[in-house]
């Protein structure tokens, strides 16, 4: 970093000095007076020199912007590395698998058993909380997918299962969840609002059976 700063300072000193404050004030006064100065040739030379210097400024600024982008990228990479180091030392990584499974079980939706919206039903049928937890790391994924007890509770709202367009998706999600429960006894809670005559025709009940 010190080498970079020295290099930048060296590059900046290569430029011609800027016009002094007095010179800039004098030009400002000439603009206000609308007079043609006697030293017109001097000003033309100043314009020519300044144009060349502006081009050099553009080159230096572009080079510094490239360096700045590299520094920002390195900073972001170091920040990510530091965060990963902290994650490796996280206390939750030292918890035994049995305790982790107890925590995972507490993460499930403790609602009233009926889904108001179809998105809620899809999340419940697929055990969305377990799916999301399984994406945290390979260890959690293996633990969740190979712990049948975590998949032993199923809540369905049968009203949503009457929609023919959604039945294939819902049936597939429910069947996959039940399969993951293995030989663990299932705890099933099925809710329905009205239309009790539709109960015998519900595909969810057929899958449970």
Question: Is the pTM value of this prediction over 0.95?
Answer: no
Model confidence band, residue 196 (pLDDT cutoffs 50, 70, 90): low
Token pair recorded at residue 107 = 């993460």
The pLDDT of 17-27, averaged and rounded, is 79
Between CA 91 and CA 96 the distance in angstroms is: 11
Q: Give the confidence band of 62 by pLDDT, cuts at 50, 70, 90.
A: very high
Weakest-pLDDT range from 17-31, 74-88, 127-141 = 17-31
Helix, strand, coil proportions of the chain in percent (round to 5)? 70, 5, 25
Residue 198 has pLDDT above 70, yes or no: no
The Cα–Cα gap between 137 and 58 comes to: 47
Distance between CA atoms of 49 and 15, rounded to whole angstroms? 11
Q: Count CB atoms within 10 A of the CB of residue 171.
A: 16
Token pair for 98? 């049995």
Give the span between the Cα atoms of 163 and 171, in whole angstroms: 12
Handedness of CA 116, 122, 126, 128 (dihedral sign): negative
């Amino acid at each position: 970093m010190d080498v970079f700063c020295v290099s930048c300072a060296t590059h900046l000193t290569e430029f011609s000095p800027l016009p002094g404050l007095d010179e800039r004030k004098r030009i400002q006064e000439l603009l206000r007076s609308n007079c043609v100065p006697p030293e017109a040739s001097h000003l033309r030379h100043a314009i020519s020199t300044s144009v060349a210097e502006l081009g050099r400024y553009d080159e230096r600024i572009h080079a510094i912007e490239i360096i700045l982008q590299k520094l920002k990228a390195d900073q972001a990479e170091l920040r990510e590395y530091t965060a990963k180091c902290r994650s490796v030392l996280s206390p939750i990584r030292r918890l035994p698998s049995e305790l982790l499974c107890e925590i995972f079980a507490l993460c499930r939706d403790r609602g009233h058993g009926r889904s108001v919206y179809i998105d809620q039903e899809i999340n419940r049928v697929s055990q969305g909380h377990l799916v999301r937890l399984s994406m945290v790391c390979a260890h959690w994924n293996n633990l969740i997918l190979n712990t049948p007890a975590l998949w032993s509770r199923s809540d369905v709202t049968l009203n949503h299962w009457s929609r023919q367009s959604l039945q294939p998706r819902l049936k597939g999600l429910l069947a996959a969840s039940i399969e993951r429960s293995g030989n663990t006894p299932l705890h099933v809670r099925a809710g329905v609002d009205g239309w009790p005559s539709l109960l015998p025709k519900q595909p969810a009940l057929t899958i449970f059976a």
